[in-house]
Amino acid sequence: MLLRLAEGDTPGTLGHARAVAEEVVTHPDLVEVLVDALAHDEEGLRNRAAIALDRAARHDPRPLAPFAGALLDAAEADRPGGALRRLLPLLLSRVPFDVESAHRLVDHAAHWLRTEPSAVRANALDALVAVVHQHPSLLERVRPSVEAALDHPAPSVRARARRQCARLDRLTEAD
Residue 11 in this model has a pLDDT that exceeds 50: no
CB-based burial of residue 69 (10 Å sphere; 0-12 exposed, 13-18 middle, 19+ buried)?
middle
Q: Considering only CA atoms, which of 137, 141, 133 is closest in space to residue 170?
A: 133
Residue 10 in this model has a pLDDT that exceeds 70: no
What does the DSSP 8-state code read for residue 62? G
pLDDT-based confidence at 17, cuts 50/70/90?
Answer: confident
- CA torsion sign for 143, 161, 64, 67 is negative
Q: Are 31 and 52 in contact (CB under 8 A)?
A: no
Residue 75: CB atoms within 10 Å: 24
C-alpha gyration radius of the chain: 16
| Average pLDDT rounded to a whole number, residues 11-20 | 68
71: three-class secondary structure by DSSP = helix
Cβ contacts of 2 within 8 Å, gap of 6 or more: 33, 37, 40, 45
pLDDT-based confidence at 16, cuts 50/70/90?
Answer: confident
- Please report the pLDDT score of residue 1 as a whole number: 67
Segment 83-127, tens digit of pLDDT: 899 999 999 999 999 999 999 999 999 999 999 899 999 999 999
Residue 141 in this model has a pLDDT that exceeds 50: yes
What pTM value is reported for the model?
0.89
- Please report the pLDDT score of residue 73 as a whole number: 94
| Average pLDDT rounded to a whole number, residues 36-60 | 92
Cβ contacts of 63 within 8 Å, gap of 6 or more: 24, 28, 29, 31, 56, 57
What does the DSSP 8-state code read for residue 175? -
Residue 55 in this model has a pLDDT that exceeds 70: yes
